[in-house]
Amino acid sequence: MDLLMDGIVQLILALLGAVLTYFATKIGSFFGKMLKSREENKILQEVAKTCVFAVEQMYRERGGEEKLLKALEMGEKLLEEKGIRVKMETLRCLLEAALSEAKGAFLKA
């Protein structure tokens, strides 16, 4: 009887270990993805700001649409170098947000 109980306890412990390992892996994966997403968002925002300021400096005399196209090209290239792919619509939104934020800096200068 003791041998049977020992076998059942070992089986329960093995199953519990497997279940805990599974959940620990899932939780680790979730937090890893969340951290990567945060880092990518930070990079996206930084690239957008860099492009807005660079285009404003380099193409000061050009029109808004031309500046936007230059910023899109520049942003796409910088993000590609970092291994980040993003849709053009998303990049445009990021650039527009960065421009809106930067307008105050341009007015102060």
Angle in degrees, CA 102, 105, 109, rounded to 5: 145
pLDDT tens per residue, the chain (109 residues)?
Answer: 677 788 888 899 889 888 888 888 888 888 777 777 788 888 899 999 999 999 988 988 888 889 999 999 999 999 999 888 888 998 999 998 898 888 775 565 5
Other beta carbons within 10 Å of 65: 8
Q: Find the DSSP H helices in 1-109.
A: 2-58, 64-81, 88-108
Sequence ranges of the domains in the chain: 2-108
Tell me the CA distances in angstroms from 64 to 21, 40, 71, one per residue in order.
55, 27, 10
pTM here is: 0.64
Residue 59 in contact with residue 67, Cβ under 8 Å? yes
